[in-house]
Structures are given as C-alpha cells and as structure tokens.
Structure 1
C-alpha cells in the first residue's frame, strides 16, 4: 500500500513539474532571434522622427508640461496611474547610465516589439509594445537612430508601485500569451493604399487603440470593440468611440478628422481636451498625407454603437 501511494505521489509531482515547465515555456520572455536585428540598414533619421511623433514618445517620456525642444528630452519620471497600481515611465534618452545610451538595437527592438527588457525581463504592457509589435526591423532601426540624436538626461525614474499579484512579472508572460500578436486588429474590405497606411499608423506606432478600445479584466482588448471607447485606462473619465458608429465623431468626414488632427479643432470649432491635447500636438507633426490616411482608416473600420 505504501508503495502504491509513493507511486501516486511521484506521478503527481511529475504532472505538476510538467505543467510548470509547459507554463514557463509558453510564458517566458520571447525576444526575436538575434539575426532579426542584424541588417536593418542605415537609419533614416527623417523617417525615425516621423515615427517619434506618430508614437507619441514625448507625451510619456518628456517631463510634464514640456514644450518646444524640451519635448525631445526623454527624461522619464511621469507617474501613470492604472487599476493595477502606478507605473513610473522610464528615461529613454541617450544617457548611458540613466537612459538607453548603452542599449543595442536588438535590446531596443525587443523592448519595442516583444516587450522584453534589456536584461531579458518582461516589460509591463503599460508600454504599448502590443501596438509597436507591428513595426518592422527597419522602422525600429530608424526610430532608434533618431532617438540617439536627442539630448541625454541623467534623471532616474523611480520603480513601479504595483500591488500583488501585478508586481510579479511572470504574470506578464500570461498576458502576452493571451494577447500579444502582430495580426491586424480588424479586417478591412478596402485594399486602398491610403487606408492601409492609416491602418499601420493607427494600429502600430500611433497605438490609438490603447486608449480608445475597452479592456477586459486581464487588460486585453475586448473582442469586437476595436476603437469603441470606454473607461479611461488611467482611471478618470471616459475615452470616446472613434468608429463610424460613434455619436462623437461618426458624422465627421475624412476632411473633418484630418483637420482635427492637424489643428486640434473640431468641425464645430471646439478643441481637443484632456490627454488628447498632447496626442494631437504630436500627430500634427506628421505629413498631411498621413493625417488623411488616418482619417480614411477611421472611416473604414467596422462601426460600433
């Protein structure tokens, strides 16, 4: 009898160990193969700057209230409240100690597109790599090249303040397993090149869905609700629906949307408010063709009431 119970216990240990090994295999940090970053070519700094503005890097990583050239000092330190605790945004300036001055392209690229930090750790998806994963190696190389031309800052951001269990980074691997992919957010009927460009900008560097799409309890996007608006992920107020079925902008034309992104003024001569002020000011740096592409995409996505 003792021998039978020993075998049952051993079998249980083996099952648990196998389950743990499988879970780790599915949820461990998963950077790109090293060769992926080997030859992105010479950085196109002009394109890198466009990605900088499209991605809203300054909105998070520059100091609160920064204007003009100060927007390019990516010193970090802002507090980002969330239902999981408070995230503190890191310094991504070229400073070799406080920033990313010693990072390689592979380290930067894996952070941007795979959510893997310089030391191989999971990064929290408060950094929107779930959107940035749609950037190519060349896109990332262009952006990294541009960031290295910006001023260095020695500011050291404080650590995140997250409550249990969200302070256990292993759980981020589960989130990635469930939600991280580079597939299109929606399937579009239009094959128009302008709409495709808009899809890349909105779903990729612009990461519009990070605020404009409601989330489930795990922090993933609710299926079928792309850009449908919902509670502000930072905890205060709501974010509007920006699909064609929206009561907010559903009646706007493509020209109205592009004009709003360029000037900050609505067709009714109201103006952007809240966190959208900084977003609009960033996007306004893009060429008019990109603003028109974003507008065309927003008119092409499925309507959500």
Structure 2
C-alpha cells in the first residue's frame, strides 16, 4: 500500500509539473524589440485604431479627458465582472513604469510584468497579431499622456475563473496565429484586415463565442449576444451588412447610417476612434468587410 501511495504521489507531482509547464505564462524573448525605436506620432494612430480610450478612459469622458486612462469601466460577462485597469502614465497606479517589452508581453502574449496571465477581456487574442513596431510606437505615445493616481479596481470573478493559471489552457485553445480572412487580398484589403482583425479587434464583439469564451472563427463577425446579457452585437458580414463601401466609410467617419440613423451604445466610442484615422484606413476597413465570408 505504501508503494502504491508513493507511486501515486510521484505521478501526481509529475502531472502537476507537466501541467504547469504547459499553462505557465510565456513571455517574449528579452531582445525582441532591441532594434525598434518608438515614434509617438505614429503611436497616436495606433492608440485610436486600438480603441484604448474606449475602455480605459472614464465612460463619460469627452475631449482631452479621453486621454486620461484611469480605468474604472465595468464589463459584465458570464464569467464575472471585469474592471478596466488604470493604464495612465502614473508609475504606481498605472503603467508609467512599464517599458516597451512590458507592453508587448501584455498585448502579444497576454502576460503582465509580474508574470501573470491577463484575462482575455483584454483583447490580446486580437492584439497578438499586431506588428511589434506598432506596439513600440504605442508605448511612446502612451508616455506622453497624463498620469492619474486612481487605483485600478479589482475584478469580480469567482471560482474557478479566478484561477489565472488556467488561462494558459485557454490560450492554447484560442490564441491562434494567422488571419481569419485569408486568400488573394489587395493591399487595401490587407490593411483593412490588419485594422479589423488585430488593432481594431472587431471580432471580439461581433463574433459569437463558445462556452469557454473563445471566438468561433467559423462564424467570423456574424454577431452574437452581448456578454452583459442585454441585446446582441450585429452581424457585419455581407450576409446582413449590405451597405456600399462608401456607406461604411461614412458610418466610420460620422456615425450616420445610409438610413440617416445614428450610431449608439459602445459603437459610438468606436466611431470616435475610427473618425481620427486617415480616410484611407476607413476605406481599407470597408474593403475588408466586403471580403469577409457571408455568415448567417
């Protein structure tokens, strides 16, 4: 019996060790960004394309207050309620002490400077496709923004979702390389794909999710229920979005639909962001949406 117990203990220890090796947080090599230099001017475009202010500024912020990234917005979901953290330039409450590699690990790998998995409510499943130069440029721009000492709120997440190590398994399942929409795309469509699938993370809202919260890429941008339980995100594939390319560009610029309705809800914040991009980028997003496979 003692031998059996010892054998069981050894197997259990080995099993735990192997499991940890599989799900442990994985960061980028230390020299990943060694040849890159950030440009704050380019980083501002990355900031608006990435929608940073939409989640990390106060929900009622307007004008320059959009650049005070003190966090605090809450995002209810079936897994708990997540609170957007302070990512202002404050070195204690925010990310003022972060370097470029810290930001790259957060966006590309979903790992904090302390070596913990981030919850995927932070859309690193999309940001993982971001160009490293864009990440470095974004860090340069974030360094120019105001510092705010407001402490980040704690997520309201219960067992078992509060076990962050389990997110390593989630990443193995859902953190994928490669583009969803592939094939012979024009240069404009490729730019639109980058903005929509990576920086703009359109799929995070407009793609339905499975029971584990992973995006169902087979129904890319086909819409789905709002995680808070009220309403639905619309289908923006050609199966439902029959607007012209010019209509889509206008919507991403002014927020007006072809029927002279106006954008509402959280999408209004998205349009505030896209309106700040060059018109060529809005046209690229429109061109990309025309190439997305139709899905009911």
Q: Return the offset for 1:191.
A: 2.5
Q: After TM superposition, give the deviation of residue 99 of structure 1 in Å.
A: 0.7
How many positions carry a matched residue from both structures?
Answer: 296
Q: CA deviation at 1:10?
A: 3.5
Distance 2:18 2:31 in 1: 26
Q: 1:69-116 CA deviation, whole Å, 9 max, x = no partner?
A: 110011111111111111111111111111111112111110111110
Shift of 1:235: 2.6
Unaligned runs of 5+ in 1: none
The answer to which of 13-22 and 143-152 deviates more is 13-22
8 Å CA contact 2:77–2:228 kept in 1: the answer is yes
TM-superposed deviation, 1:223: 3.7
Alignment of 1:52-131 (within 5 A): 52-131=47-126
Equivalence for 1:267: 258
2:32 to 30, 36, 56: 36
CA apart distance, 1:16: 2.6
Distance 2:268 2:253 in 1: 11
Asked if 1:47 is matched to 2:42, the reply is yes
Say yes or no: does 1:234 pair with 2:228.
yes
- State which of 173, 177, 181 in structure 1 corresponds to 2:172: 177
Q: For residues 28-53 of structure 1, what are the alpha-carbon distances to aligned partners after superposition, in whole Å with 9 as ceiling and x for unaligned?
A: 00010111122212x22222111111
Question: Do the aligned residues in 2 keep the contact of 1:211 with 1:229 (CA within 8 Å)?
Answer: yes
- Determine the C-alpha separation between the residues in 2 that align with 1:31 and 1:8: 39
Specify the SS of the correspondent of 1:92. coil
Secondary structure of the residue aligned to 2:82 is: strand
Equivalent in 13, 33, 41 of residue 17 of structure 1: 13
Alpha-carbon RMSD across the aligned residues, in angstroms, is: 1.3
Distance (Å, rounded) in 1 between the aligned partners of 2:210 and 2:97:
37
| Contact kept in structure 1, 2:181 and 2:193, CA below 8 Å | no
TM-score under structure 2 normalisation? 0.97
1:151 aligns with 2:146: yes
Question: Does the residue aligned with 1:158 lie in a helix, a strand or coil?
Answer: coil
